Chain A
Amino acid sequence: MTRTAPLLLVIDDDPVIRETLARELALAGFETLTARDGEEGKDLFARHDPDLVITDLAMPRADGMAVLAAVRRAGRTPVIVLSVRGEEEDKVRALDLGADDYVTKPFSLRELLARVRSHLRRSHLSTVPGTPGVSGVLRFPGLVIDPARRTVLQDDREIRLTPTELAILELLASQAGKPVTLRQIIATVWKGAPATTQDTVRVHVGSLRRKLEPDPGEPRYIGTEPWVGYRFLMEPE
């Protein structure tokens, strides 16, 4: 199927949000489909195979989690969930179940558009330039991570990291722009070792930050996602 613009599926039970989002996304150059609830959303997803899904979590007739499960069964289509403050557990659960990102209501359109573009770019579907290289070396402005040679260069100066810190940095940087939950870090870096707690992760991230961030007042690389985990803030070069 060839499309002139990426196709987005917007699922929200509130008609004002749904229609406003559809209109604004269309003006931003995307094609859009809208669904009133999870059931309709799953149906439209199956029939149209959109490039990205934006879904509310709390909805009648199949909620956002059900939509997420259906999308993940079909493939890797990016999913952004619309969450509400105070329901952080739902947000973390959605991320652990495979959601790519979230925005918290009330969110700004600018913020949502930035996330949409970032995830489309990640899934190699957009025409926006700046796709990360495939050589395995992760390049960011002022920072080069070479997993094969186990080196990290910041402004051409090597930063010495422990193997655990390097593994965490690699994971976050390889998912640049995407929130990574503490559980995902434990599963990847520690292979889910049962004694690993979320505090263990915090200890190593704290240490990594001290070595990596030039200015503690202005974190450039590793952002904290309250309740969730961390997000690598820079876009790849």
Chain B
Amino acid sequence: MDVRKAALTWLVSPVAVALLTAVAHRTGANALTAGFLYLILVLGLATGGGWQAGVVASLTATGCYNYYFLPPFGTLVIAEPANWVALFSFLTATTVASRLVVNARRQAEAADLRRREVEILYELCFSLFAASQRPGGLGEAAARTLGALGARSGMLFLDQPAPVSIIGDMGERAPVVDETALEQTRALWSLVETQTDLEKTVYIPLLVGGAFGGILVAQGAAASRKVLESAGRLLALALERERLLAEAAHLEAVQESDALKTSLLRAVSHDLRTPLTAMQLGLEGLGREVAGRPAAEAALREVAREQERLTRRIDNLLSLARLEAGVARPHPEDVAPGALFRAARESLALVLAGRPLEVRVTRDCPDLWADPSLALEIVVNLLENAARATPENGANGQDTSLELAAEADPESGTQGRVRLEVRDRGPGVPAAVKRLLLGPAGAPRGGEGSAGDSRSGGLGLRIAASLATANGGTLVLLDRPGGGSIARLTLPAVPAVLGDPA
């Protein structure tokens, strides 16, 4: 009990009752008036001095009331039973009323405290979220929090992104940080307090979304534990918001860059294909005009082939550019190997003209699960490469026949894959390249290419290997028994649920 309360209880209360008694007695107040006056005085003393002052005043007043205002006067004796009831009622009323007054006052004080706490948190909330719309400024947010808590100085420790990073200290001077308290906060995820001779330091954990984000150290903070914890949560949210804002800004930049790449590739694609279309249409027109002139027809056929090859290379390079720029991912669909081979032959109609070509697809061969355009590009490149290895007007009765084959990959086990092979009877895989191994980036090592890879075939093969990798497949070059080479492409088979309906 503090001095003020003790004085009110033991000194002021009896004196005030005595003074009131003197005044009431001198003025000749009756029992009823005196009773009300005593009641008012007791309530006043209870309000100011608390419950004990109220009780002391109540007992003193009861004694005086009996002595001076209840007959027989001047004695502490009560003659009439009715006056016993009056005295007892007076004592009860004063005691209960003083108790109620004290309770009401306490509740008012608690409500006031809560109001002030809510005000602190509201202001903090506002300053952390509404006042600042710009990313960055972690230190600023922490300083605002410390200010709202009434701390003299503080420090912010963040566990993310760096394991432990000190953002900086705020306030007049750096607080003395207790390493043990820091560790304890980090281990328990709850608020820890340390007390020195001078003042209290609190270690507030920053928790958001069930994760521990760091610790705010506040020295000399005057707020309650509840407020400190709530402020910690608000700061953690503000920091999370800062992080998300930074992430969003980064994502926006990435998206802009992707959009730029997409539109650039679109423009390049359009600008390259438009003249190629014009060339193709022009060549077909010319073909009709030079009909019947064998030399011109042959020259035109050669130009047409080169134009087709240029178109394929541009397709290849744009596909690779799209994949590498990340603006397009392979879009797998079910692809029937027979349909794929047919499309490849149609694409290479000029190159394959007059050349025997055999297609073998086993009956149990599953469909491919691959990007149809990319799968076609790969097979076209391999077929073109094989055709180059065996020129159609080859000398010495060279076998110019080609074979396309598809079957379920016998080496893939339960993991369904399809093996596609392009076979030729050319000079075979050079000794140095017995097996074309795929490098880490998916490109054939060294770029030696395969049989017949005399000019730009290496590029076609390299692109085929990259596209195969992008499709989740592999490409190897093998010697063919009896002479020639085999380009073996392995691609995923259509998932069982699609390939084998119930």
Contact = CB atoms under 8 A, between A and B. Distances in A.
A226 interface: yes
B361 A217 contact: yes
Range, interface on chain B: 35 or more
Contacts of B360: 217
A121 interface: no
A226 B372 contact: yes
Interface majority SS on B: helix, strand, loop or mixed?
Answer: helix
B501 A207 contact: yes
B334 interface: yes
Contacts of B376: 226
Contact of A203 (B273, B361, B372, B501): B501
Contacts, number: 118
A226 B361 contact: no
B293 interface: no
A217 B341 contact: yes
Contact of B280 (A108, A199, A224, A227): A108
B448 to A, nearest CB: 30
- Contact size range, A: 35 or more
B372 A86 contact: no
Contacts of B274: 14, 16-17, 105
Interface in B62-94: none
A20 B278 contact: yes
Contacts of B365: 216
A85 B373 CA distance: 9
Contacts of B336: 209, 216, 219, 224
Interface stretch (B26-34, B120-128, B281-289): B281-289
Contacts of B363: 216
A120 B338 CA distance: 29
B498 A202 contact: yes
Contacts of A110: 284
18 contacts: A14-B274, A16-B274, A27-B288, A84-B273, A85-B269, A86-B265, A107-B277, A203-B501, A206-B334, A207-B501, A215-B338, A216-B361, A216-B362, A217-B338, A218-B359, A219-B339, A224-B333, A224-B336
Given A17-B281, A85-B373, A226-B372, 17 more contacts: A16-B278, A17-B278, A23-B285, A85-B318, A86-B328, A88-B373, A105-B273, A105-B277, A106-B279, A106-B311, A109-B281, A109-B284, A109-B285, A204-B501, A215-B361, A218-B338, A226-B373
